[in-house]
Amino acid sequence: MAAKIKCPNCGSSEIGKGKLSGYAAIHPVGKVLSMGSTIIVDVCTECGLIIQMKAEKPHRFKNTVWR
């Protein structure tokens, strides 16, 4: 069972999920032609604070070369 997320700003446990749209995606460093991944966010439905952001497809970032 997943842990219940609480908003650190207002204390609400009413958390929604969202997806950044348009050109909002992250791409691996050093992989020019990579598809990257959409960004998924957890947002407090009471005060609007974005609590965390995650890559929808994190496996696309394996073996990334950092410079």
| Under 8 Å between Cβ of 18 and 40 | yes
Kindly state the average pLDDT of the residues 44-60.
93
User: Which tens digits make up the pLDDT trace of 31-49?
Assistant: 767 777 888 999 999 999 9
- Each domain of the chain, given as residue ranges in start order, spans 15-61
What DSSP line would sit under the chain, residue for residue? -PPPP--TTT----EEEEE--TT-EE--TT-TT---EEEEEEEETTT--EEEEEES-GGGGTTPPP-
Query: Is 0.85 surpassed by the pTM of this model?
Result: no
The dihedral through the CA atoms of 34, 17, 2, 7 has a sign that is positive
User: Could you tell me how far CA 56 lies from the centroid of its own chain?
Assistant: 7
